[in-house]
Structure 1
């Protein structure tokens, strides 16, 4: 079986772009399930797993290396900006599981001033609850959704208290406890939504543990709808809509 999944047809690229960031294990069956769940939900966007790691033998290095995090966040930002230059006004989403959730926030925080993507989904993010993600919020048009679960105490509680989080803290993670939002303004709160574990997730095979976040049925029924919700005004400007708008402007000018 192929190690990663890329669904990058021209038709899909013209609709939007989803980048999936795996945890510290790297591209694997765990994150391939995210893409499969999105495809099962008929999400029309291009999709790609971006493996920012050196794979599972170096998991601890992947978790703690600031050099790796900085280099990969830069590469991701370049990938986003390149897509936006070729396909303007299309929605871009980041979906990060575990360590990939941390990389999602690192990537957003470093985007150029005035640059943004549609939104980001954090699935059991391996970041400390006190991480200041306000700069990241400035670079999303819609929201950052943080799916968390108290049931993920083994990986995002015990393990990260001993080995550390992506942002270098020895503590349980926001993917278990949620983020500390006391510092957020009302405007910033409008761009952040905490998604704590719900018993309804059991029906979709998310049983509160670390790998339930990527269950295809959970992705299909709970994550994909967030990506398909009402687009921003900029996102709604497809080629066809832009052409119609241009014709209207020309007609008004003539009149």
Structure 2
């Protein structure tokens, strides 16, 4: 059945109003949220591994600041970097969403930085954490990695990526796991929002951050290794007790990240979370 937002339909008007409100929230939340870059990128921490946090299309914000701090507080004691892949133009989140060629160039740039890190610190774990549009960039980076330099793990939070996105190239460049965290309650930005404005991979559909990833009908079956590497976790009501309300930004709640997400990254570092 085709999805539409009718101009004269009350539900359509409410959906449009919600979208405008969410866009206003993105503008208000962006450009703020400094993180202690120096303390989180010491030589000692770099020697333990690297975690790169990829923000959503809003750029630096209170949400990805909470994500970085929650990881640190949760015992992720390696280097943690917030990579600002979007355009520095104020309010440029629509450019960040729609300019796929620019996003591919940014993915190439981060790929080169990761390869340089792996050369300087061989054998250390490298993990990517992408929220919303940043999840799409995380996949672009991963699938561009050299065959002999895979990332360790990729964590996708509320991914603004189409459910049919072919994950096999990224899975082939991941030595550990790709974890997709999604929520049916993310009903505005990753529902009508990406149906109208599109996903990072430029599909006009609901997003995998709402319904999970699905194998494309035209794709050949995933091999056994791929099935073992890809994991998907849906939001559950129990997560609300940790601060994740199931909405678009719930996955970045500082307490939730500290208690639920950080232990998953610590596992790849061989550490216990705090």
Q: CA deviation at 1:231?
A: 5.5
The answer to whether the aligner puts 1:81 opposite 2:81 as a matched pair is no
- Taking the TM superposition and a 5 Å limit, the aligned residue runs for 1:37-56 are 37-55=70-88
What is aligned with 1:59? 93
What is aligned with 2:227? 189
- Taking the TM superposition and a 5 Å limit, the aligned residue runs for 1:193-232 are 193-229=231-267
What is aligned with 1:33? 66
SS of residue paired to 1:60: helix
TM-score with structure 2 setting the length:
0.81
SS of residue paired to 1:109: helix
SS of residue paired to 2:176: coil
- Taking the TM superposition and a 5 Å limit, the aligned residue runs for 1:43-192 are 43-55=76-88, 57-181=91-215, 183-192=221-230
Deviates more, 1:181-190 or 1:104-113: 181-190
SS of residue paired to 2:53: strand
Q: What is the CA–CA distance in structure 1 between the aligned matches of 2:148 and 2:121, rounded to whole Å?
A: 17
SS of residue paired to 2:151: coil
Q: Which runs of 5+ in 1 are unaligned?
A: 233-255
Q: CA deviation at 1:73?
A: 0.1
Q: What is the CA–CA distance in structure 1 between the aligned matches of 2:75 and 2:149, rounded to whole Å?
A: 28
Q: CA deviation at 1:42?
A: 1.7
What is aligned with 1:18? 51
SS of residue paired to 1:229: helix
Q: Which runs of 5+ in 2 are unaligned?
A: 1-31
Contact 2:33 2:60 in 1 (8 A): no
Q: What is the CA–CA distance in structure 1 between the aligned matches of 2:33 and 2:175, rounded to whole Å?
A: 34
Distance change (3 Å), C-alpha of 1:181 and 1:37? same
Deviates more, 1:94-103 or 1:41-50: 41-50
Contact 1:4 1:27 in 2 (8 A): no
Deviates more, 1:222-231 or 1:7-16: 222-231
Q: What is the CA–CA distance in structure 1 between the aligned matches of 2:211 and 2:84, rounded to whole Å?
A: 26
Deviates more, 1:197-206 or 1:142-151: 197-206
TM-score with structure 1 setting the length:
0.87
SS of residue paired to 1:141: strand
Deviates more, 1:55-64 or 1:119-128: 55-64
Q: CA deviation at 1:107?
A: 0.6
Deviates more, 1:5-14 or 1:160-169: 5-14
